[in-house]
Amino acid sequence: MAVATRLTGQTLRYRRTMVTAEDLPELIQDERRRAGRPITVGISGYCGSGKSTLARHLAAVIPGSLRMRGDDFLDPARSHQRSHDWDGVERERLVTDVLAPFQESRASQFQRYDWSRRELGAVERLPLADVLLVDLIGLFHPQALKHLDVTFWMDVDLTVATERGMARDQSLGRNHESLWRDVWIPNERDFGAEFDPRSAAEFFVTAE
């Protein structure tokens, strides 16, 4: 079962310091009511840590929620290259076209990456919703953090997350071993050393 633990030392806005997966929807909806406007929920963690699984679950059980997939803002080419800051994550476009206008209930347009064509897809209108869920590597960066109302870190060790991610790729017939070894693992380590994304999260999410 997934368990979210609020980080020690932060101001508690909830009476409990540990919540189960079943509590997360209520917690997020409480935050929405408190904010009095649409809110953004950021879910980040290492590749293979379970970000998408949690986001899909929350999108299915939270009324009025919308999920934005991480791959929609992940450049197919640059995400396969070495960088210290996950350069392939297009945070500026995510903030400008999605996060900021969503929080302000402002009309906006955006484009998702079309991975089959390896280029940006058609222009879409940003849908209206109460809660926007975004699951993405490299999300907890200064450029994006101020536009995230609730933050969850998938608290899975890099080694374990890597094993899970590689197993997932193999089950899908993808041979990404060299990418994991030479690009993604080093990118995760560099990003963690420079930006300490784990400490930026409001909640840890672990699997028991």
pLDDT value for 16: 35
Cα distances (angstroms) measured from residue 192 to each of 93, 135, 137: 22, 17, 11
pLDDT at 135: 97
Residue written as token pair 């998938």 = 154
Q: How many CB atoms lie within 10 A of CB 122?
A: 7
* Mean pLDDT within 163-174: 90
Q: How far out from the chain centre does Cα 101 lie? A: 18
Nearest by Cα to 45 from 37, 34, 53, 35: 53
Higher pLDDT, 141 or 14: 141
Distance (Å, whole) CA 149 – CA 28: 10
Q: Is the pLDDT of residue 137 over 80?
A: yes
Domains (ranges, CATH) in the chain?
A: 38-201 (3.40.50.300)
pLDDT at 18: 55
Among the ranges given (3-17, 48-62, 106-120, 185-199), the one the predictor scored with the smallest mean pLDDT: 3-17
Cβ neighbourhood burial of 94 (10 Å; 0-12, 13-18, 19+): buried
Mean pLDDT of the chain: 89
Contact 21, 35 (CB under 8 A): no
pLDDT at 8: 39
Using one digit for the tens of pLDDT, what is the confidence trace for 20-35?
Answer: 667 889 989 999 999 9
pTM exceeds 0.85 for this model: yes
Question: What pLDDT, on the 0 to 100 scale, is given for residue 136?
Answer: 97
Token pair 């791959």: residue: 71
Residue 194 class from Cβ within 10 Å (0-12 exposed, 13-18 middle, 19+ buried)?
exposed
Q: What sign results for the dihedral spanned by CA atoms 187, 193, 199, 200? A: negative
94-113 pLDDT, tens digit per residue, is: 999 999 999 999 999 999 99
Tell me: pLDDT of 184 over 70.
Answer: yes
Question: Taking 50 as the threshold, does the pLDDT of residue 14 lie above it?
Answer: no
